[in-house]
Amino acid sequence: MSHPDSGSEPSDSDSRRTAAKPTNEAELPLPPAIPNLIVEVGRSEDEAPSLPAKVKTLLIGRPRDLSDKRIFQHVSLIAFLAWVGLGADGLSSSCYGPSEAFHHLAHTATGSHTYLAIFLSLSTIITVFVISACYSHIIEEFPSGGGGYLVASKLLGRPAGVLSGSALLVDYVLTVTVSIAAAGDALFGLLPQEWQAWKIWVEGAGIVLLIVLNLRGVKESVTFLLPIFLIFLATHAILIAGAFFMHVSAAGEVTRQIVSSVQTSVARPDIGWLGLFSVFIYAYSMGAGTYTGIEAVSNSMPVMREPRVATAKRTMLYMALSLAFTAGGLMVVYLLHDIQAVEGKTMNQVLTEAFVHESKLDSLGLGPTFLWVTIISEGALLFVAAQAGFIDGPRVLANMSLDSYFPHWFGNLSERLATHHGILLMGVAALAALAYTGGSIGALVTMYSINVFLTFSLSMIGMLLHYWQVRRSNRLWKRRVVLFGVGTLLCISILTVTVYEKFLLGGWVTVGVTGAIVAVCFATRAYYDRINRKIRSLNAALTELPTRAEDLNTNEPDPEHPTAVVLVGGYSGLGIHTMMNALRFPTNYYKNLVFVSVGVADSGNFKGEEAMEELRSHTEQSLAKYVDLANRFGFPSTSFMALGTDPVEELEHLCVQVVKRFPKSTIFAGQLIFSRETIIQHLFHNQTAFSLQRRLHWDGVPMVILPTRVR
């Protein structure tokens, strides 16, 4: 719920997540006539849009209508589309994760140990299904959104939640950057060398394009990328299955070679069982990028089509199957075809060339076509994978802002019902990371993998403790404890090895940036807590003002009388403070009181049609309380309301309509002012009143901003 009278939106996290029912409803009984005095004003299209508005509509589309009952079908995803939008992040990691692990088997201090690839493939498949199963249960426990931030906050406490959320923000920025940079490497590898100078500029343009797509809305961005996703699946299914069956007859010989190689390595005094296990664990950890993106579904529950839990679990299954087949299958066919690294080519390109040659596609004239389509689809899918960063990153940021760890306006939605501030921040940060690293995949992946498994580990630990605590009420607790115990062991092991191996190679940058974000989060929360304590004292002083029964006036306001139009949010001391100041400006001049409010749909309450009805009801009841209070002070009163995503635009429209009905009106809005104005106030508090005043002056509507002083 927005508070246009306050300029700060100083409510606690619970009340910001949903349009909660007013807590003071029982203290202020409403006369029977009050509900009929609430007028909801619709939007008219009298004025032609300006040129900037036309350009904005062209780029990001027309605004969504919150009164449209089908709105949640337009912005929600069925399991298949969710798999496209969110699963691309995990599936695209097969373009670099398996090859990274295989490379570290082939190049060790004790020689090549690629025969371990078969065990590495099985371990990768098991890890994918274990982590996916864990997150399916997290979805069940957190059906409104169970990403790492919310899970850790609820199950391990606020500090762990902030650490997990901060790690996720860095992770999703790097998701965008790594995916775009890898796509650039793949696509420019097919082009002449002299074109390389343009690579980083094209990658930057790709990030800008994704920003625009996501500002248009989630579903539009996903459906645009659907053909790319399907082509990748088709070409890589043919590649992996074809490459496997071409050598399936040699499976017996390969098995004998693997057994012989293991026995030989174990017998060597410089290796042994311990050395061989160390080589395997190192390669397994270096392929940690394979598992990135699995958490994306639990972070994006608000975009799932109802029934959300079933849709999300089906999406998780699609993701697990596709990732396990692709990542595990690639490692096996690398081994079967004895693929070696080639300078300037990816392992997948070398594999594709070998497959084309051995399958005789060259003789049919299809070889070059299949090679180009396969490699281009890899680059395109990596571009699609960056989408996950723009879907989930802004949602994590919005959830943290609703808990006052970031400025509250990061929870706002645009006219297209996208978290536009978060999308822009993620895009700018991704561009900065691209510029800092020069698009180097090695540097980006080093920075990327640490935070992924930090978040995984915190979520696994939290759920492990949760099922232990509910063991007496949950008959499946033993299975869940075992599952999350295994998940915890896997994630912590990978995290430990990754930090140890990569800290001095660039991992320190990730650790430092994440730590800085954590510090900013706690400083932001401390600031909002100080302001909220002051506002709570104002609420306590003003929400129970004494009135006299003989002053009650339930008459209709007379449009010919001077009218004070007070802009309010939820029923609170801030709104009452603004009303009392308006009546003293000047004293005994105004004969009517009109209250105006906008129910603002943000990322905290935009969770379905029922939530929108709760928001409407909450706004109506808050206005009814203001009307009732004005009546008990002897003033004829009424109210006007609207629902929307932009409070300034909606309030401007409402105020113009109110002034037409009550020509002798003055608009009053409250605004927090501080004894020392700094950039902090402008960053942490909205400037709704000032923005609205500028607009209304151009409309010829008088508006006065009344201060609420905060020391």
The CA-CA-CA angle for residues 623, 628, 633, to 5°, reads: 130
Polymer length of the chain? 711
C-beta separation of 67 from 643 below 8 A: yes
Same-domain check for residues 42 and 178:
no
Residue 75 banded pLDDT, cuts 50, 70, 90: very low
Same-domain check for residues 335 and 293:
yes
C-beta separation of 672 from 710 below 8 A: yes
CA distances from 625 to 10, 39, 577 (A): 20, 14, 14
Same-domain check for residues 49 and 66:
no
Whether 516 shows a pLDDT value over 90: the answer reads: yes
Same-domain check for residues 93 and 49:
no
Least confident of 217-221, 417-421, 435-439, 498-502: 217-221
Cα–Cα distance measured from residue 129 to residue 547, given in angstroms and rounded to the nearest whole number:
65
DSSP 580: H
Distance of CA 377 to the CA centre of its chain: 26
Confirm whether 533 is domain-assigned: no
Confirm whether 7 is domain-assigned: no
> Among residues 471, 505, 524, which one ends one of the domains?
524
Cα–Cα distance measured from residue 425 to residue 410, given in angstroms and rounded to the nearest whole number:
9
Q: What are the structure tokens assigned to 62, written together?
A: 């027309």
- Residue type for 273, please? W
- The whole-number pLDDT of residue 7 equals 40
CATH number of the domain where residue 627 is located: 3.40.50.620
C-beta separation of 57 from 344 below 8 A: no
**Mean pLDDT confidence for 184-208:** 84
CATH number of the domain where residue 88 is located: 1.20.1740.10
- The whole-number pLDDT of residue 119 equals 92
Confirm whether 688 is domain-assigned: yes
* Beta strand spans in 487-574 (E): 563-567
Same-domain check for residues 51 and 120:
no
Same-domain check for residues 51 and 69:
no
Whether 98 shows a pLDDT value over 90: the answer reads: no
Query: In the chain, what's the furthest Cα-to-Cα distance?
Result: 101
Same-domain check for residues 125 and 159:
yes
Q: What are phi and psi of 97, to 5 degrees?
A: -65, -55
> Among residues 524, 541, 571, which one ends one of the domains?
524
**Mean pLDDT confidence for 113-133:** 91
Confirm whether 246 is domain-assigned: yes
Closest by CA position to 240, among listed 123, 106, 121: 121
Whether 481 shows a pLDDT value over 90: the answer reads: yes
Same-domain check for residues 132 and 46:
no
Same-domain check for residues 491 and 615:
no
Cα–Cα distance measured from residue 578 to residue 582, given in angstroms and rounded to the nearest whole number:
6
Specify the 3-state DSSP secondary structure of 317: helix
C-beta separation of 312 from 297 below 8 A: yes
Confirm whether 350 is domain-assigned: yes
Give, to the nearest 10 degrees, the angle between helix 367-402 and helix 148-156.
40
Instruction: Report the run of H or E that residue 680 belongs to, with start and end.
Output: helix 679-684
- For the chain, what is the mean pLDDT? 78
Q: What is the DSSP string of 466-488?
A: HHHHTTTT-TTHHHHHHHHHHHH
Q: What are phi and psi of 346, to 5 degrees?
A: -80, 160
> Among residues 524, 544, 568, which one ends one of the domains?
524
Confirm whether 542 is domain-assigned: no
- The whole-number pLDDT of residue 616 equals 82
H helices present in 142-250, as ranges: 148-156, 158-188, 199-216, 218-246
Task: Answer whether the bond into residue 307 is a cis peptide, omega within 30°.
Answer: yes
Confirm whether 547 is domain-assigned: no
CB count in 10 Å sphere of residue 609: 13
Same-domain check for residues 292 and 179:
yes
CA distances from 332 to 138, 321, 371, 490 (A): 31, 16, 20, 22
Give, to the nearest 10 degrees, the angle between helix 218-246 and helix 347-358.
50
The domain in which residue 602 lies consists of: 13-55+552-710
Same-domain check for residues 466 and 347:
yes
Confirm whether 535 is domain-assigned: no
Task: Answer whether the bond into residue 269 is a cis peptide, omega within 30°.
Answer: no
Same-domain check for residues 520 and 584:
no
Give the model confidence (pLDDT) of 126-151 as tens digits: 999 999 999 888 988 888 776 788 88
Kind of pairing between the strands at 563-567 and 665-674: parallel
Least confident of 205-219, 276-290, 518-532, 599-613: 599-613
Total structural domains in the chain? 2
Give the model confidence (pLDDT) of 531-559 as tens digits: 888 777 766 666 666 666 667 888 889 99
Whether 639 shows a pLDDT value over 70: the answer reads: yes
Least confident of 71-80, 290-299, 363-372: 71-80
